[in-house]
Structure 1
Amino acid sequence: MGIVDRLRAIGPGAMVAAAFIGPGTVTTASVTGARFGYALIWTIAFSVVATIVLQEMSARLGLVTREGLGEALRNRFDNPTLRYASVALVVSAIGIGTAAYETGNILGGAAGLETITGVSASLWGPLMGLIAGALLWTGQYKLIERALVGLVAIMGVSFLVDAILIGPDLGAVAAGFVPSVPEGSAFLITGLVGTTVVGYNLFLHASSVQERWSGPDDLRECRTDTVASIVLGGFITLSILVSAAAVFPVGTEISDVGTMAEQLEPVAGTYAKVFFSIGLFAAGFTSATTAPLAGAYATAGALGWERDLSSTKFRAVWMTILGTGVVFSAVGFSPVQAILFAQVANGILLPIIALFLILVMNDSTKLDSYVNSTVQNVLGGLVTLVVVWLGVRSLLSLVGVF
């Protein structure tokens, strides 16, 4: 496969990258770089590997079985209690979770546009929501995919150029790949992993690969897309972190991501501010589009509905998620309690989904010769241990331990 063919293969994986590089990731990477410099770069590298391991399994499941992850989870249990419990967890964690995060996605993208234009984010937010809704309403997967791939490219160029303009310390960047845990950094380590290894992306990927490819013969192309896109997403996160690390003295506190763009200008010039703001807009818009889509795929699959982008029930789910974000962004309200619930619910769901993935990916009756290899099982097990730790931290944070 030549370079051109590899670039043409980019699609569903880029949608995954678009989903996890949202305003939350931009904020977490910026805060991490400002507070701890280059010391936590290794966390991004780990997150990228962990994401590739789980997303490859999810994509392979969808490509080989032609089932979405929601259907696979729903059909796995014969016991009605377990089945209903799994459906309830998916709908609450993914459906409600994506609705809660949607406000942050829209507000983050709108903040980028406000910095560039001076027009209030409360006006840009609803407009972004309407454009994202119009794109999803077309029901044309290829159009949606191409739009998101283009925006991921814009986002990548913006943040990479920003990092180059600022000029990070390359020696310190290299040293940052050596694992260390500075005092007080555990929360941000959890945040960096948690914003990259995202539960709803596993549902999005298993379904979107079926829209793009016809079966297991396309597995090699699918893997190229997955690895290339997620590595690109990792480089984007890395660029954001090193930009903040290069600009601010270690220990600097950043209040919010919109302030980050403003703080760049006196230190690194107007172009750095503009590129960061463009990247922030692209991150917000792509996540504002993929989160409702992922929520619709997960909810429709778990409830046994048709996963057709043009079906009434499918549209009803993503419209509810997107509408929630638009309404809250218009009034400038951040649903903190809903986001807290979503974080905890997703913290519980992700280890369950990771364990389920490993289980189903060893089922030869479903996957035949495409079952996991020993290496894939070992890597998946290690990643699952980490996400279990994240899930425990999410539960403990609810009772105020962390």
Structure 2
Amino acid sequence: MAKTLALRTGFSSLLFWSVISAAFIGPGTVTTCALAGSRFGLELLWALTFSAISTVVLQEAAARITLASGYSLGQIIALSYGVRSRAIGWFLFLAVAFGCAAYQAGNILGAVSGLSLLTNWPVHWLTPAVGLVGIALLWIGSTRWIAQFLGLVVFVMGIAFAYVAFSAAPSPAAFGRALVVPALPGDSLVLVIGLIGTTIVPYNLFLASGIGQGQSLPQMRWGIGLAVLIGGLISMAILVAGTLVTGEFSFGHIAQTLSDRLGGWAGRLFAFGLFAAGFTSCLTAPLAAAVTAQGLLGWSPGSASFRSVWLLVMAVGLTFGWLGIRPVPVIITAQAINGLLLPLVTVFLLRAVNHKQLLAARYRNSVRQNVAMLLVVAVTAFLGLRNLWLAFQ
């Protein structure tokens, strides 16, 4: 009986924390990973390995803060900076909300594109339908119910992408080498930053901190570890599937290429995966922006201010959908923006998780954990600054 209960508890924790997988496996992941595979084969796979490990390190630290102190990451930041906290809180909230809005544009466009490929229904009808269903689910307001729903969809989506990737039959030796050997081929820097930005996702730090209350430390670590592992494997499967695509890069072309190479089922599975990725993320991006406002600005869940945040983020995505903007450039830009925001948010997290007045010694970072977080900051800052320098030149 004890083993049954432990297994049930572990699965429930994994299902709950799968909201993190759902948050970073959106159309941005599908687009960026498939584009990386299409242009560079397996060469950028190492960026996903780095991103997955970094995500576990950062998410665990953000959630540990809440379990130790009862405060979310945003509240810790507010308490840490005293009279300056209001200005810092607004600055961080606007930066994260901007990233969420950029993501949401890609989420709606991606979900509608996948649904259109599956049904051939007109986009101008599908866009408001996806938006209204998303608004209805968010209005219910139960984070745990939404998390469990998203977890189930992520599992189905993962099976779809894994099956397509397995059919691509990459060389095991080449795959294993690409996982751990860094490479930076020409013109790949924006995609590398995008792969990191679409996996670690700055707003997920606030989301993980905000939804982690009520769990034990082992439950939290188990849930985050497995959820991120599943998300990382799905991202890698998408990149492998992208190696089959050459020439023009669009969702329709990817689906057609997979259908031609592997059969009609592959194109339909890709379309379903794209829709599932977009739909799950179009719930998590607005929710993450609202949870961030809750922590940084003190807006309570269910309040008019809290709901106005996720409604505004949802409205941005719907506007892009109505305007008929091409999704791929928007999505790639969103990933790069979030990759540039990441070092900034991580520095605040690093300071918070070492706060001696608010966290007991057993909950503060060890030397090894600080080194790991500093490495994430250094790598992401270097890539981001190098990209800005190249753009300036």
Query: Please, what TM-score do these two structures have when normalized by structure 2?
Result: 0.91
- Paired letter, 2:275: F
Whether the 8 Å contact between 1:262 and 1:273 is mirrored in structure 2 is yes
Q: Which residue of 2 aligns with 1:70?
A: 74
Q: Does 1:22 align with 2:26?
A: yes
CA RMSD of aligned residues (A): 2.4
- Paired letter, 1:287: S
- SS of the equivalent of 2:200 reads coil
Structure 2 residue corresponding to 1:388, chosen from 368, 381, 389:
381
Q: Which residue of 2 aligns with 1:115?
A: 117
Deviation at 1:302, TM superposition (A): 1.8
Name segments (4+ residues, structure 1) moved above 3 Å: 1-5, 333-349, 393-397
Cα 1:242–1:335 shift into 2, 3 Å: closer
Q: Deviations over 1:98-144 (max 9, x none)?
A: 12321210110111111111112332222111111111101122221
Cα 1:37–1:348 shift into 2, 3 Å: closer
Q: Which residue of 2 aligns with 1:59?
A: 63
Q: Does 1:209 align with 2:205?
A: no
- Paired letter, 1:193: I
Q: Deviations over 1:251-305 (max 9, x none)?
A: x344223431222111111011111111111100011000000011112322222
Q: Deviations over 1:291-321 (max 9, x none)?
A: 0000111123222222x2x222211111111
The 5-angstrom pairing of residues 22-101 of structure 1 reads 22-80=26-84, 83-101=85-103
For 1:230 and 1:220, the matched residues in 2 are separated by 15
Cα 1:349–1:169 shift into 2, 3 Å: closer
Q: Which residue of 1 aligns with 2:364?
A: 371
Whether the 8 Å contact between 1:31 and 1:253 is mirrored in structure 2 is no
Query: Please, what TM-score do these two structures have when normalized by structure 1?
Result: 0.89
Q: Deviations over 1:164-199 (max 9, x none)?
A: 233333232122122222233222222111211111
Q: Does 1:264 align with 2:258?
A: yes
Deviation at 1:93, TM superposition (A): 1.3
- Paired letter, 2:40: F
> 227-236 or 259-268, which moves further after superposition?
259-268
Deviation at 1:349, TM superposition (A): 3.9
Structure 2 residue corresponding to 1:170, chosen from 155, 169, 172:
172
- Paired letter, 1:271: W
For 2:319 and 2:185, the matched residues in 1 are separated by 40
Percent of aligned pairs sharing the same letter: 38
Structure 1 residue corresponding to 2:17, chosen from 13, 17, 36:
13
Whether the 8 Å contact between 2:15 and 2:152 is mirrored in structure 1 is no
> 192-201 or 321-330, which moves further after superposition?
321-330
Whether the 8 Å contact between 2:207 and 2:288 is mirrored in structure 1 is yes
For 2:335 and 2:359, the matched residues in 1 are separated by 32
Deviation at 1:337, TM superposition (A): 11
Structure 2 residue corresponding to 1:297, chosen from 278, 291, 296:
291
- Paired letter, 1:139: G
Q: Does 1:242 align with 2:240?
A: yes
For 1:141 and 1:220, the matched residues in 2 are separated by 21
For 2:331 and 2:296, the matched residues in 1 are separated by 22
Cα 1:163–1:156 shift into 2, 3 Å: same
Q: Which residue of 2 aligns with 1:190?
A: 193
For 2:45 and 2:221, the matched residues in 1 are separated by 25
For 1:35 and 1:227, the matched residues in 2 are separated by 30
The 5-angstrom pairing of residues 300-319 of structure 1 reads 300-306=294-300, 308=301, 310-319=302-311
The 5-angstrom pairing of residues 273-352 of structure 1 reads 273-306=267-300, 308=301, 310-333=302-325, 346-347=338-339, 349-352=341-344
Q: Deviations over 1:346-392 (max 9, x none)?
A: 45542232122222212232120211111111111101111222442
- SS of the equivalent of 1:333 reads coil
Structure 2 residue corresponding to 1:231, chosen from 229, 233, 242:
229
- Paired letter, 2:305: K
Point out where structure 2 has 5 or more consecutive residues left out of the alignment: none
Cα 1:88–1:348 shift into 2, 3 Å: farther
Deviation at 1:342, TM superposition (A): 6.6
Whether the 8 Å contact between 1:128 and 1:285 is mirrored in structure 2 is yes
Whether the 8 Å contact between 2:190 and 2:387 is mirrored in structure 1 is no
Cα 1:155–1:95 shift into 2, 3 Å: same
User: How many residues end up aligned between the 2 structures?
Assistant: 387
Deviation at 1:85, TM superposition (A): 3.7
Deviation at 1:10, TM superposition (A): 1.2
Structure 2 residue corresponding to 1:360, chosen from 334, 352, 360:
352
Deviation at 1:12, TM superposition (A): 4.5
For 1:169 and 1:350, the matched residues in 2 are separated by 33
For 2:99 and 2:43, the matched residues in 1 are separated by 31
> 181-190 or 221-230, which moves further after superposition?
181-190
